[in-house]
Amino acid sequence: MPSSPELARPKATVLGALVEGWRRVLAAPGIAAGMLLATLLVALPLSIVVGRSIESHLGDSIESGQLVAGWDAGWAAEFAAQAEGIARTFTYEILGFGGLLSTLSRLLDQKGPSGQTGIVDPALLGAIALYGALWVFLAGGLLDRFARGRAVGASAFFSACGVHFFRFLRLGLVIGFAYWALFRWLHPLLFTSLYDRLTRDLTVEHYALAIRALLYFVFMAALALVNVIADIAKVRIVVEDRRSALSALGAALRFIRRRAGRVIALYLVNVIALLIVGRLWMQVTPSAATPDWLAFLAAQAYLLARIWARLAFMASEVVFFQGELAHAQYTARPLVRWPDSPSVEGIRNLGA
Amino acid sequence: MRRHFWFAVALALVAATSGLSARQAPSRSPRNASYTLTATLDPVNRQLYGSGRLRWQNTSHVEATELRFHTYWNAWRDEHSTWMREQRLSGYDPLERRADDDRGSIDVTTLALVTAAGSENLLPQARFVAPDDGNGEDRTVLLVPLPRPVAPGATIDIDLGWNAHVPRTFARAGAIGNYFFIAQWFPKIGVLEDSGWNCHQFHAATEFFADFGLYDVSMTVPTGWVVGATGREQSVADNGNGTATHRYVESDVHDFAWTTSPSFKDLHVRFEEPGFQTVDIRLLLQPEHQSQADRHFAAARAALKYFSTWFGPYPYDHLTIVDPVTIVNARAQGNSSGGMEYPTLITAGTNWSQPWASVDLENVVVHETGHQFWYGVVATNEFENAWMDEGVNSFATARVLAEAFPARFVRVRRYLGGLITWKYQDVRWSRDGVGNGLNSYRLDPSRDVQSTPTWKYWPGAAAFVTTYDKTALWMATLERRLGPATMEKVLATYYARNAFAHPLPATFFAIASEVSGEDLTWFADAVYRSASTFDYSLEQVSDQPAGNGSTDSTVVVRRRADGVFPVDVRVTFDDGSAVTERWDGRDTWRAFHYRRAAHVLTAAVDPDRTLLLDLNYTNNSWTSQSRAAEASRKWSLRWLTWFEHVLMTYAFFT
C-alpha cells in the first residue's frame, strides 16, 4: 500500500483521533455529498408514492389550497384514517424534530405511536434494508479512503467497496444476530421483567422515569458495545485486508479489551457530536409554514451535517486504530506479489 | 325565558340551602336510597371492612318482592366474570401479569331486614344472578328475596356488612402503594322501576346507575393520612390506636367514593363569581405535581362557570379534585384511577411534564367537572344509555375548552416512555377533530347502533367511539343546524327539567324537538337509531358551451354511504355569482344543471360543514383551481426529509 507523503502520523489520543477523523472527512467533500445523494435517491421513490397518494386523496378538492398554506390537522387525520401502505406513515410526526424522537422511541420501545409492535413500520422495511445494504457496500470504500487519507478516485473507491462487501456481509450475519439477541432477550428482560418489578409499587412518576432512563442507558450501552465491536472489526478488515470476518471480530475484541477506556471515550465523543448536530437541528427545524425550498435546504443541510458526523465517527475509529497499532504503511498481510496465478506458477515450473 | 326562570329558581334554592348541612338541606331528589356506612381500611393487607344501614324506599308502582344489589368488585375476583370476559373480547386481558393478591372482591357478610322486633337475616336466601348474559360465574348482582313484599311508597332498613379486598387498580378503583381510591366499594342497591329491577351486571363498556339518597360515611384510616370523599368532612376523630375516623356527609347524590393517602398535598380555593354559586374547590395533589395546582383550579373554575352559564347551576357548594398516582407502567402498576367522576368528587390525572400547550390536564378536569351536571344531577342510566352522560359531556367539554382556552393547545406526544415530551406546534387542537372526537370516530364509526343498550356494545375502544365521539359529533352537528343559542337552550331545558330524574333518551329528543320547534325524529333516526355512516361527495363538474356565449354546467353530488342527511350544495361561478341548493340527501346521486354566461369556479356539498359525521370531508368539494399537485409536492418533500432521517437512524447500526 503506497504511503502518502502528506499524511501525518496519526495521533493515538481520543481527541486527536476525533480531530484527524473530521479533517479527513472534510477533506473528502465528494464522499459526504455522495452519501447525501444516495440517501436522497433511496428515499425519493417512496416519497413520490406518498405524494401521489396525497394528490389522489385531494383530487380537485378545495382542501388542497389549505394544505398548500400549511399543515391542516383535520385533513391529515382524515388522510391517515384512509391511507394504506407507505402512505400510512404520513402523519404529523413527519413535522420537524418530533419525527426523530418518534423514530428513536420506536426503535428503543419496539412500539409505534399507535401501539403497533416492532422497531420499524413494515411499510418502510424494504427501503431501510436497501439503504442498510448500501451502507454495508460503501463502508469498505469509505474506510479504505479514510485509512489512506488521500484522494483515491472513484475506481479505487468502488473497488475497495467490492473487495470488502462480502466480508462485511459475513460480519453482518454475526453482528445482526447479536443485535437480534439484544432485542429478543435483553430488551424484554430489562423493559418488561425488570421494569415491572421495579415500578410495581411506585407512586412517584419521576422515580419510574428515572428507572426507565437507567434501563435505556443499559440497553443502549449494550447496543453501543455491539456497534463498536462491529466498527473496529470493519476497520481491521479494511486496514489489515483481513479475509475472515470471524478473525476480524476476534481481533476487534482484543483491540478493544486492551484499550477499553479510550475506545469507549472515542465512541462517546462521536455520539456527543451526533447529539450536538441533532440539538442544532431541533433549534432550526422549519415549521409547516416555512417556504418549501427553504425547508428542504435546511433539512438537507442538517442531513449533510449528520452524514459528516457519521463519517467522522468511522474516520476517527480508523485513525485511532492506525495510531494505536499501525501507521499508514502497516498492513497485517505481506505485500501481495503480482502475478500470482496458477498459470504463471505452471510456466515457472516448466522452466524448472 | 323559561330557561332563565328555572335557572333562577334553582339558584335561589341553592343559595338558600348553602348554609345548611347536608342533612338539613331540603330534599332536591327522591332520596330513596340513603346509606349510613362505616369503613375500616387495612392498608397493609388491602382489606376493607364495611358495615352500615341502607334506608330504601320503593318509589315504583309495583311491589318489591326482592332486592338486588350491585357487588361490583366481584368483577375482578377471577377471569370468569362478565367484565373480564368482555375485556378479553376487546383484546385486553386484565389479569395478565396480575398476582392473585392484585385482584378485587367483595363478600357480603351481613344482610338483614330491620324490623320492630330486631332483624331478619336475609343472607341465607341471597344468590348471585346474571340477568344480562346468564353467566353463572358472574357475581356482580346479588338477588335477595324478601320475606314480605315492600309496597309502593314503603320504606325499609337493611343492615349491611361486608369484607372487600382492594385490588390493584381496575376500572379506576384500587390501590397502588399507599394510594387508595375506593369506589363502588359497598353493596349498592339497584333501581326498581315499574318494569322491574334495573340492576345490570358489571360490563366492560359501562359505568353505573343508582338512586339518589343521603350518604353519611365514616372512614377509618391510619392517622395522618389525608382523606377526600364525596361530600363535606364533618369530623375527624383520633381513635388513639394509630387510626383516625373521618366522617363525610352528602345529600342528593347517588354514589359515594373516597380516597386516602399520606402523600396528598391538600389545597383549597374558592370559586366566587357574581351570579354563580360559590363553590369550595379542594385539590388533593400528588407532591410532584405541585407546579400544576393552578391549572387544576383554573380548569375547574372554567367548567363551573361555563356549565352553569350555559346549562344550569351547580347544585352543591363544594368539589374535590383528586390527582391520582400517575401510572407509567400499567402492566405492573395497574390501571390509572384518573379521569373519573363521582358526586362532588372527581379524579383528574397529569404527568410531571405537562406543557402549557397540552390539553390533557384541562380536558380531564373540565370533563370530569362537567360530569357533575350530567352524571351527577341528571343521572342517566350509564348501563343502558351511557351516551346521555359521556357523549353530552364530551360535546360540552369541547365547547368549554374552545371558549375558555382559545388557541392554546397543540398536539403533544410523550416519547421514550414519557421521558421526553414534544410539542407539535403546527398541529393545533380543534374542537371538532379532537374535542368532539372526529379523528377517533372515523376509525370505527359503525360498530354498534347507538340506541342499543350500552352494556351490549362491543367493548373497548369501539364502545368509547360510539358513546363519546359519535354523540359529541351529532350534538355538534345539531348545534350547527339549530344554532348555538338554540342548542344551549335545548340542553339548559333538558338539565332544568330532569335534574335528579333519570331521564330516558326519548326525553332528550322530545325536548330538542320542542325547543327547536322542529320535529327531530328524522335526526334521531339517522344518527342515534342506526349505525349508518355518512359520506357525501362532489362527484363531478362539467362545463359545455351552449352557444350565444353561455355555458351548460352540470354539478353532480353523490351519497357514498348509507347514512342520509339533508345537505346544502353551493356552486360559485367565475362571474362572481353563487347559488345554494338544498338536497334532502336521500338519492345516491343528484345532478344540478345551470346555463349561464359563466363557468363553475367551485362546488361544495355541505359547504358549512354542518354534518360533522361525514367521514371524508375532502371529497365534498371541487375547484377549477385545484392545488393538489402543489400540495402533494410540498408535503412529499417534507416526508422525504423525514424518511431520510429514518434511514440514517437505522443505518447507524449497519
- pLDDT of A5: 47
> Is A101 close to B420, i.e. CB distance below 8 A?
yes
Considering only CB atoms, A105 lies closest to which of B416, B602, B620, namely: B416
pLDDT at B95: 78
- Label residue A115 by pLDDT band (50, 70, 90): low
Half-sphere exposure in the Cβ direction for B236 (13 Å, CA): 12
Contact B417 A93 (CB under 8 A): no
CB-based contact A103 B646, cutoff 8 Å: yes
pLDDT in tens, B624-650: 999 999 999 999 999 999 999 999 999
Q: Indicate the average pLDDT of chain A.
A: 89
Say if the Cβ atoms of A206 and B643 lie within 8 Å. Answer: no
**Residue in B424, B541, B651 nearest the CB of A95:** B424
Closest chain A C-alpha to B328 CA, distance in angstroms: 7
Residues A131-185 pLDDT 10s: 999 999 999 999 999 998 888 889 999 999 999 999 999 999 999 999 999 999 9
The helix (run of H) or strand (run of E) holding residue B488 is: helix B484-498
Residues of A in contact with B410 (CB under 8 A): none
- A181, three cell numbers: 439477541
Strand partners, B558: B537, B589
Query: DSSP character for A191?
Result: I
Which of B409, B618, B630 to mutate: most A Cβ within 10 Å? B618
3-state SS, residue A103: helix
- Answer for the pair B366, B374: CB distance below 8 angstroms, yes or no: no
Residues of A in contact with B633 (CB under 8 A): 51, 292
Over residues A218-233, mean pLDDT:
97
pLDDT at B7 over 80: no
> What's the pLDDT score for residue A352?
65
Q: What is the pLDDT of residues B491-534, one digit of tens each?
A: 999 999 999 999 999 999 999 999 999 999 999 999 999 999 99
C-beta separation of B70 from B202 below 8 A: yes
Residue A71, chain B, CB below 8 Å: the answer is yes
Grid look-up 471515550 returns A265
A91 close to B (CB below 8 A): no
CB-CB contact of B363 with B436 (8 Å): no
- Residues 6 or more apart whose CB falls under 8 angstroms from that of A225 comprise none
**A232 touching B (Cβ < 8 Å):** no
Q: Tell me what pLDDT residue A323 has.
A: 87
Residue at B201: amino acid letter: Q
pTM confidence score: 0.92
pLDDT score of B99: 84
pLDDT of residue B460: 84
Q: Tell me the pLDDT tens digit for each residue of A295-336.
A: 999 999 999 999 999 999 999 999 999 888 765 555 555 555
Q: Which of B623, B510, B603, B515 is nearest to B557 (CA)?
A: B603
Chain B contact probe: residue of A72, A205, A308 with most B CBs at under 10 A? A205
Give the one of B417, B442, B649 whose C-beta lies nearest to A212's C-beta.
Answer: B417
**Which residue of A47, A60, A78 is in closest CB contact with B616?**
A78
How confident is the model at residue B475, as a pLDDT? Answer: 97
Instruction: Assess A90–B contact: CB distance below 8 Å, yes or no.
Output: yes
pLDDT higher for B532 or A120? B532
pLDDT for the residue numbered A4:
47
- The per-residue pLDDT for A119 is 75
A223 touches chain B (CB under 8 A): yes
Q: Tell me whether residues A77 and B622 touch, CB distance under 8 A.
A: no
Residues in CB range of A296: below 8 A, 6 or more apart = B637, B641
Contact A209 B641 (CB under 8 A): no
Of A81, A202, A299, the CB nearest to B443: A81
> Which of B97, B433, B646 minimises the CB distance to A73?
B433
Question: Is the Cβ pair B424, A92 closer than 8 Å?
Answer: yes
Does a cis peptide bond (omega within 30 degrees of 0) precede residue B313?
no
The residue type of B298 is A
Using the beta-carbon criterion (under 8 Å), do B328 and A51 form an inter-chain contact?
no
Residue B103 to chain A, least CA–CA distance (Å):
14
The yes-or-no verdict on residue B283 having pLDDT over 60 is: yes
> pLDDT tens digits for B594-613?
999 999 999 999 999 999 99
| Nearest residue, CB atoms, A299 vs list B420, B433, B641 | B641
For the residues B116-141, what does the mean pLDDT come to?
97
Q: Which of A41, A61, A105 is the best residue to mutate to test the B interface, defined by the most B CB atoms within 10 Å of its own CB?
A: A61
pLDDT of B321 higher than 70: yes
DSSP reduced 3-state for A110: coil
Mean pLDDT, residues B105-128: 96
C-alpha to C-alpha distance for A68 and A74, rounded to whole angstroms: 14
**Separation between Cα atoms, residue A178 and residue A227, nearest integer Å:** 10
Q: Are strands B47-57 and B155-165 parallel, antiparallel or unpaired?
A: antiparallel
Nearest Cα to B475, choosing from B415, B545, B399?
B399
Which residues sit opposite B189 in a β-bridge?
Answer: B69
List the 282-341 stretch of A: residues with Cβ below 8 A of B: 287-289, 292, 295-296, 299-300, 303, 306-307, 310
A47 contacts on B by Cβ (under 8 Å): 636-637, 639-640, 643
Interface contact flag, B417 A51, Cβ < 8 Å: no
One-letter amino acid for residue A166 of the chain = F
Cβ–Cβ below 8 Å for A196 and B97: yes
User: The complex's ipTM?
Assistant: 0.90
CA distance from start to end of chain B: 74
Per DSSP, A93 falls in state G
Amino acid B19: pLDDT: 39
State the DSSP H helix or E strand holding residue B642, giving kind and residue range, or none if neither: helix B628-651
Question: Is the per-residue pLDDT at B27 higher than 70?
Answer: yes
Local structure of B405: helix, strand or coil:
coil
Q: For an interface test with B, give the residue of A36, A40, A64 to mutate (most B CBs within 10 A).
A: A64
Strands of the B188-189 sheet, one edge to the other: B127-128, B141-150, B64-70, B188-189
Which of chain A's residues have a Cβ under 8 Å away from the Cβ of B636?
A: 47-48, 50-51, 54
Average pLDDT of span B376-384: 96
Nearest Cα of chain A lies from the Cα of B289 at a distance, in angstroms, of: 10
A6 touches chain B (CB under 8 A): no
With cell 465517527, the residue in question is A313
Nearest CA in chain B to A100: B645
Task: Scan residues 128-187 of A and list those with Cβ closer than 8 Å to B.
Answer: 128, 131-133, 135-136, 139, 172, 179
Q: Is the pLDDT of residue A72 over 60?
A: yes
Could you tell me which chain A residue has the CA closest to the CA of B422?
A98
Position A3 scores a pLDDT of 46
Percent of chain A with pLDDT over 70: 90
Kindly list the residues from chain A whose CB atom is less than 8 angstroms away from the CB atom of residue B635: 50-51, 54, 67, 90
- Cα angle B528-B534-B538, degrees, rounded to a multiple of 5: 155
pLDDT of residue B11 exceeding 80, the answer is no
The pLDDT, as a whole number, for residue B24 is: 55
Residue B394 scores a pLDDT above 90: yes
Rounded to the nearest integer, the mean pLDDT of chain B is: 94
Looking at the complex, does the CB of residue A242 fall below 8 Å from at least one CB of chain B?
no
> Which residues in chain B are closer than 8 Å to A40, comparing Cβ atoms?
640, 644
pLDDT of residue A336: 53
- What is the distance between the alpha carbons of residues A179 and A201, in angstroms, rounded to a whole number? 32
Which secondary structure element, helix H or strand E, spans residue B365, and what is its range?
Answer: helix B360-371
A295 and B618 in contact by Cβ < 8 A? no
Indicate left, alpha or beta for B314 from its phi (over 0: left) and psi (-120 to 50: alpha): beta
DSSP letter, residue B53: E
How many helices and strands, by DSSP H and E, does chain A display? 14, 0
